[in-house]
C-alpha cells in the first residue's frame, strides 16, 4: 500500500470508531458510567386490561371508606384494611380462578418462567418455594392470604420478565402456583396452577 493510501486509512479509523461509539453513548443518556436501563417486559393483552379494571374497582371502593390520616395508629390501619378487603370481596363475589390469569395469559406466564428458569436455576427456585412456610395458604380467589404465612418475593430477574404490576398488587409463589395478591387488603385476587415447571 502506498504512503498516501496508509494516510487515508489512518484518517478514516477515528471516523469509523466514532460511528460505532456515538449510538452507544446516546443510549446511556450521556451520563458517565451509566448502564443501559433494563427493557420492560412487553404488555400481555388481556392481563394488563384486567389488572387495570381491578385497580379501578379497588380505587372506587376505597374512595367510599373514611380517609386514613398519615399518623394513624396500627389498629386503625388494620380496620381500614379489613373494611377494604370486605368491600372487594363483596364486589367480586362469584369471581372464579382465571379471570385475570386467563388460559392464554397463564400459558404466556408459564413460558416466561420456563425461559428464565432451567437447570440449576430451576432447582434453586423449586427448593425456595418448597422450603417456604406457605402450607395452608388457600388457593381460592377472594380469600385472605394468611398474615402468619410467609410471602415469597419474586426473584428480580423474573419480575423484569413478567408484566409490571401497579403498587397495590404483588406476585407470590405458593408451591408451584403463582398468586396475584392485593398487598394492602391481603386478598388473593387470582391464581394460576403449575407456574413453576
> How does pLDDT run across 57-74, given as a tens digit for each residue?
999 999 999 888 888 888
Q: Which of the two residues, 27 and 132, has the higher pLDDT score?
A: 132
Burial (CB < 10 A; 0-12, 13-18, 19+), residue 98, is middle
pLDDT, tens digit, for every residue of 75-89? 888 899 999 999 999
Q: Give pLDDT, residue 61.
A: 96
Q: How far apart are CA 15 and CA 22, in angstroms?
A: 11
Amino acid at each position: 500500500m502506498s504512503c498516501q493510501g496508509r494516510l487515508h486509512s489512518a484518517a478514516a479509523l477515528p471516523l469509523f470508531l466514532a460511528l460505532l461509539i456515538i449510538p452507544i453513548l446516546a443510549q446511556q443518556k450521556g451520563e458517565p458510567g451509566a448502564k443501559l436501563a433494563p427493557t420492560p417486559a412487553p404488555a400481555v393483552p388481556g392481563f394488563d386490561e384486567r389488572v387495570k379494571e381491578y385497580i379501578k374497582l379497588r380505587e372506587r371502593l376505597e374512595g367510599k371508606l373514611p380517609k386514613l390520616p398519615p399518623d394513624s395508629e396500627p389498629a386503625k390501619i388494620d380496620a381500614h384494611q379489613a373494611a377494604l378487603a370486605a368491600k372487594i370481596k363483596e364486589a367480586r363475589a362469584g369471581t372464579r380462578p382465571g379471570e385475570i390469569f386467563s388460559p392464554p395469559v397463564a400459558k404466556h406466564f408459564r413460558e416466561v418462567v420456563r425461559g428464565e428458569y432451567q437447570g440449576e436455576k430451576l432447582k434453586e427456585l423449586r427448593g425456595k418455594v418448597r422450603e417456604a412456610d406457605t402450607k395452608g395458604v388457600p388457593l381460592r380467589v377472594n380469600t385472605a392470604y394468611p398474615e402468619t404465612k410467609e410471602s415469597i418475593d419474586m426473584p428480580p430477574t423474573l419480575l423484569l420478565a413478567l408484566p409490571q404490576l401497579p403498587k397495590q398488587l404483588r406476585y407470590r409463589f405458593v408451591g408451584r402456583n403463582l398468586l396475584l395478591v392485593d398487598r394492602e387488603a391481603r386478598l388473593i385476587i387470582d391464581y394460576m396452577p403449575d407456574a413453576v415447571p
